[in-house]
Structure 1
Amino acid sequence: MHQHSTTATEAVTLAESRNNGGNGARGRAFTIGAGDARKDGNVVTGTFSINGILATVLFDAGADWSYVSLRFSRQLGLTLIPLETKHVVELADGKSIEASHVLLGCKLNLMGQVFDIDLLCITLGSFDIVIGMDWLSIHRADVLCKEKIVCVPLPNGESLSVQGYRSGATVNIISSMKAQKCL
């Protein structure tokens, strides 16, 4: 299973690599409400386990980084690592908020496959977690927006397909190859 975790120094370096003229690192997070997300053809949502706790998750290719709500971060029982440079997050409405801490090495469970994910702590509305391009890129994940599916290639050559919420549906599915192995 392909996993990635950064050290606190690497996380700070990642944030500082996007330094904006000494004003802090910048990123984008286009968060929307849960009801709108189910209807939106550009994002995938679902409920998945983070460190053994169920979380509402938004897979958003429009977000540069992955984020955790401040409220949910307290439930994870991990030490918040301060960033040396605050990370400024531009929201969809044009407002900016700051992330000053990161949670390293969280465990994201997608249909029994566990992946490491580092999460910047910010104030989020409807979601506990926003999974952005940092995680999607590392894991070469494809977001099939119209179908509301996230496909993650696995090291054994198979692909994990996770069905997100659709209007009126809340079922997560796995690929047919994975289902055959389970049977």
Structure 2
Amino acid sequence: MEHQISNCPLISDAQLAGKSNPKLTTIGETKSRVPARVYSLDQQSVPEPMEVVKGTIHVFHHLAKILIDPGATHSFVSLTFMLGIDVKVERLPYDLEVRTPTGNQTLLANEVYKNCDLWIGERKLVVNLIRLAIKGYDVILGIDWLAHYHARVDCRLKVVEFYIPGEATLKLDMRGRLASSALISGIRAQKLLSHGARGYLAFLVNTPGKK
């Protein structure tokens, strides 16, 4: 199934232009609440494979288990993934009321990490990640991020293509990216090491057995 952001019924033209004005609900003297939707808050309730794309990519120079979910209105990061990562968190001017389509799970969120580094090969993209008690995944990338980069998601082929104005098409192929580790280029390794990542140099020696 190919999910074209420009034709997505889940997002308005204003959101595509990055000028979303979410409907606010004021409750007494408390902060306003903004409704949000995500298809899955844990690995057990993840949608059918034809609706999402799963895999691993680098976020903050750390390998993250991600869920690309066109049905999610926002992008989220788990509390545990951010432990030990020195990035400033900011308060939202409202409470985000996050629900699943079935309505059986609801969480409130009010903190965000802005302009987080996310790497696709040698290309750095940025994403605003809202802190949320999700399980099973480190990061959920929603329609806000996909629309910002003019993405087209093919959930069947597990491929995401980014049509960023003025740039060549950027392709993210998530097939084979479900392992806990990934091979990276020498240039990418240097960048990771310069940001404090730990590297190991291993030698493999093939010793012929005695005949």
Q: 1:59 aligns with which of 65, 68, 73?
A: 68
Q: How does 1:162-177 map to 2 (within 5 A)?
A: 162-165=172-175
Q: 1:124 aligns with which of 123, 131, 134?
A: 134
**Residue type at the aligned position of 2:24:** N
- Find the aligned partners of 1:133 and 1:69 in 2 and give their Cα distance: 18
For structure 1, which segment, 83-92 or 45-54, has the greater mean C-alpha deviation from structure 2 after superposition?
A: 83-92
User: So what's the TM-score if we normalise by structure 2?
Assistant: 0.66
Q: Which runs of 5+ in 1 are unaligned?
A: 1-13, 173-183
Contact 1:46 1:56 in 2 (8 A): yes
| Higher strand content, 1 or 2 | 1
Q: Which runs of 5+ in 2 are unaligned?
A: 1-18, 183-211
The residue aligned with 2:107 is 97
Q: 1:18 aligns with which of 1, 15, 23?
A: 23
- Find the aligned partners of 1:153 and 1:44 in 2 and give their Cα distance: 18
- Find the aligned partners of 1:81 and 1:152 in 2 and give their Cα distance: 28
Provide the secondary structure at the position in 1 that maps to 2:83.
Answer: helix
For structure 1, which segment, 117-126 or 84-93, has the greater mean C-alpha deviation from structure 2 after superposition?
A: 84-93
Q: 2:50 aligns with which of 41, 45, 55?
A: 41
**Residue type at the aligned position of 1:111:** G
User: So what's the TM-score if we normalise by structure 1?
Assistant: 0.75
Distance 1:103 1:157, change over 3 A: closer
Please tell me whether Structure 1 or Structure 2 has the larger radius of gyration of its CA atoms.
Answer: 2
The residue aligned with 2:120 is 110
Distance 1:149 1:108, change over 3 A: same
Contact 1:16 1:25 in 2 (8 A): no
Runs of 4+ in 1 over 6 A off after TM superposition: none
Distance 1:16 1:81, change over 3 A: farther
For structure 1, which segment, 86-95 or 63-72, has the greater mean C-alpha deviation from structure 2 after superposition?
A: 86-95
RMSD of aligned residue pairs (Cα, Å): 2.8
For structure 1, which segment, 27-36 or 111-120, has the greater mean C-alpha deviation from structure 2 after superposition?
A: 27-36
Q: 1:148 aligns with which of 144, 158, 161?
A: 158
For structure 1, which segment, 77-86 or 95-104, has the greater mean C-alpha deviation from structure 2 after superposition?
A: 77-86
Contact 2:39 2:47 in 1 (8 A): no
Identity across the alignment (%): 23
The residue aligned with 1:85 is 94
C-alpha deviations, 1:21-53, integer Å up to 9, x for none? Answer: 445011001116558869611111111111111
Q: Does 1:160 align with 2:170?
A: yes
Q: 1:76 aligns with which of 74, 77, 85?
A: 85
Distance 1:36 1:82, change over 3 A: closer
